[in-house]
Amino acid sequence: MTTKKNQPTHPLDSLVRTDRIPHIWCPGCGVGTAFSSCLIAMKSSGIDLQKTTMVSGIGCSARGPGYTNLDSYHTTHGRAIPYATGMKLANPQLNVVVFSGDGDLFAIGGNHFIHAARRNIDLTVVCVNNLNYGMTGGQVAATTPSLSKTTTTPQGNPEPPFNLPLLAFASGATYVARWTILHTRDLTKSIEEALQRRGFSFIEVLAPCPTGYGRRNRERPLDALRFYQEKSIIKNDAHPADIILDYQKGITLGTFVDVEKPTFTDIYEKTCRLDPAACM
């Protein structure tokens, strides 16, 4: 067996707090793959990592930023975007990446998400959507598919889920994509693009949570991956209102929105900062 001392060095080790690895994520949990994709994209995008920060709220996914060697912030539940917004406005030079879960960003944090998108704050938001609240034992989330079983919906979820890319698009996001953890290359490329764009970018990553969601819906990690493989339909530029996430019909993946709009900072500078010449 390989011992710690002569352990080979993984290419991402330079970006990771290796003393904290193995991480807390369960065997077959998809958060780790989404996290790796994010790190690979940060490395390959050429952004200055000394001026890059990762922010999260609370949840299993939200543990990601704490494993990076970058400046990172593990904030309070649902509030990753307000913290990230503050950092970006105080220091517009920073690349601010939010990496958090579906419950954190769209249930308790839903309002922060829509308003940051509406204002076009220059952030890259990566949401690991595992269809439930993993960390607290698999409760129903705003993303849980109809009729799925969770701890709080033992007879099946009576509610319809959010279509996250549509929500992001309708709120004003300038870059919107959805991939799964099986589509590692497309996912990494999308995060890379999002990092290079100015404006509010959103990437949804579908990922298995075998311990919370999987256990109650008879979905082992490899079943989830097979489902992604068999049911995915890649449709770049599809209108977000037309995309689906349905266990029978399929899952639409792709980059759906990629447009340019002035950011909050651009407009704020023009409208709210006093022109020094006018003060004289």
Partner 1 sequence: MKFWRVPLDAIEVEVTQGVVHIIEDRCKGCGFCIVYCPRDVLEESPHFNAKGYHTPRVKKEGACVNCHYCETICPDLAIYSVEAQPASS
Ligand X SMILES: Cc1ncc(C[n+]2csc(CCOP(=O)(O)OP(=O)(O)O)c2C)c(N)n1
| Contact residues: Mg ion, CB under 5 A | 101-103, 130, 134
Shortest distance in whole angstroms from residue 214 CB to ligand SF4: 7
Smallest gap from Cβ 40 to ligand SF4, in A, equals 14
For the bound state, the minimum distance from the C-beta of residue 101 to Mg ion, rounded and expressed in Å, comes to: 4
Q: Name the one residue in this structure whose structure tokens are 């991939």.
A: 179
Show the tokens assigned to 239. 């209108």
Contact by Cβ (8 Å): 67, 19: no
Which of 139, 151, 152, 184 is the binder for partner 1 (CB under 8 A)?
Answer: 184
The amino acid occupying position 158 is P
Query: Is 171:113 a contact under the CB 8 Å cutoff?
Result: yes
Q: Please, which of residues 14-43 interact with partner 1 by CB under 8 A? A: 16, 21-23, 25-33, 35-37, 40
Do residues 36 and 80 lie in contact, with contact meaning Cβ atoms separated by under 8 Å? no
Least Cβ distance, residue 141 to partner 1 (angstroms): 20
Query: Please, which residues have CB within 8 angstroms of residue 86's CB and are 6 or more apart in sequence?
Result: none
Q: Could you tell which of partner 1, ligand X, ligand SF4, none binds residue 8, using a CB distance below 5 to 8 A set by kind?
A: partner 1
CB of 201 to ligand X, least distance (A): 19
Contact set for ligand X, span 127-146 (CB under 6 A): 128, 130, 132-136, 141
Instruction: Name the amino acid, one letter, at 214.
Output: G
- Strands (E) in 51-135, as ranges, are 52-56, 71-74, 95-101, 124-129
Task: Give the distance, in angstroms, between the CA of residue 253 and the centroid of all CA atoms in the same chain.
Answer: 15
Distance of CA 173 to the CA centre of its chain: 14
Residues near partner 1, by CB under 8 A: 1-2, 4, 7-8, 10-13, 16, 21-23, 25-33, 35-37, 40, 181-182, 184-185, 188, 221-222, 225
List residues near ligand X by CB under 6 A.
58-61, 77, 101-104, 128, 130, 132-136, 141, 209
